[in-house]
Structure 1
Amino acid sequence: MKMLVCVKQVPASESAGPGDTALPDDFRMNRSDEYAVEEALLIREAFRGGTVEVVTVGPERAAEVLKRAVGMGADHATHILTPEAEFPDPFVTAALIAEHARHRDYDLILAGVMSEDMMQGQVGPMVAELLALPCATAVIAAQVAPASGMVYAEREIEGGSREMLEIRLPALLTLQTGINRPRYPALSHLLRAARQGMETVEAGSPGVPLSRQRVIRTDIPAKQRQGRILKGTPEQKADTLLTIFREKGLIP
């Protein structure tokens, strides 16, 4: 099987603080994309063959997530390079990925269910639409049957229900976290990645629209409320609660 995994570099959320007016300096691979890489590797191992390619859209620093993916075991990486100050919107990102994948005959395209920074969950379904592929989102389990040309996917839907789908390949799936346990990059794979490098292409293919939105601020909201845990016997807790209410003028 020939598989493509779409990965994204996102700000490390723990590095941003209230009032920050710029993106933080620390970045990492989007977590659900990490699970997508692992799922592709597991499929390759299950059938003892096939290739796993990864692609990302972003500025030069985004190459780090490709190095991590190759370190996990991916066979090939492609970096669709965008200007440092430009953050493509979901449709532009999807258009660039679709243009990259259009004539490469992938059997299966995987992506995380959504990115942690934008949380829109749009890129995967848009890529599927642009390539006229069947798509399943929020997949929590998948089983590929290359002999029959099918993939069987289980996904979460509203109300805690689960839906079982039978999808003909080629197809695109977006995966939830928890579908597997991502492995750590291996030193041997990291060294191989350093030796072989990666394919880099400039964003700006004819027919790909220009981005119409940009990120101007990443912020963690300031804490609005402070929690307090009451301790002691039920009577003591009740007395403390009454005291708090009186101090706040809620009761006489």
Structure 2
Amino acid sequence: MHKGATIATGTLIALAVLAAPVAWQLAKTPQPDIDRFTKLRSDTDALRQEIIALRARVDGLDARTAIDLRAVPPADLPRLPKAGPAPELPDPLRQNFAQVVQIADRRDANAGLSVASPRFLRDTFGPPRADLTNDCQGLTNPNLRALIATEDVGPIRARLLTPALASLRGVFAEVATHEPALYDRIASSGSLCVRLIRGSAAAASAHGYGLAVDLNIDGELDPFADGQTQLGLILLADFFHRAGWIWGAGFSREDSMHFEVSREKIEEWRALGLL
């Protein structure tokens, strides 16, 4: 035999001897469960097909039930029971702002400001009308009437001198910023009203010149001359004082719902040519 062939044959025999233990070990190792894997894959494919079929059924159901209610006669629509009135919930803010309390140091409420006296008003504007009574009447002074306007100034509608309206609008803007809950509860009890001052036989009220407004909280009027006032009016008084308005709580006969323009503010407007 050729020497090269002998070496090759020996090498193959040696390799076979070496590989025999490895083959025997592999024969002992369990093979992957091919059949089980094939069945699992088949089940997965079947489940996927069922999901696709189910989705198609749902889409078809949506299409059949998508009814345009506008095309259905009202008599054919289902009847729902009518809802009863909503229960009224307590409003703690309303109770707090409208509650009547004592006024501390009310005679000092207008410190730094002066009341525009009836004589000062008459000398500045002339009488609002010749014949004054205790009842509200129309304004007949043509010069004064030319300065009067009616506007919404925030929470209320007022009829006042035009610079007073602008000032009042600024007051309420400040209230809306710093006391929004109170702002929503402000209501008017009147503005322009040409009449006599209570108890006077000749002097016209500041209301007769379009320089005063009466306010209340939630429609509840503050009692006149009882030395007390609503909490909301006390809070409002600070805003009015900074704007140069007099608060009626400081009068000898307390009138807390009343706010009027001070003499200082009127003189300021006159100097600016607004009057």
Q: Identify, as 1 or 2, the structure richer in helix.
A: 2
Please confirm whether the aligned pair reaches a TM-score higher than 0.5, indicating the same fold. no
Shorter-chain TM band: under 0.3
Greater Rg, structure 1 or structure 2?
Answer: 2
**So what's the TM-score if we normalise by structure 2?**
0.22
Q: Which has the higher contact order (CA 8 A, sep 6+)?
A: 1
Q: Identify, as 1 or 2, the structure richer in strand.
A: 1
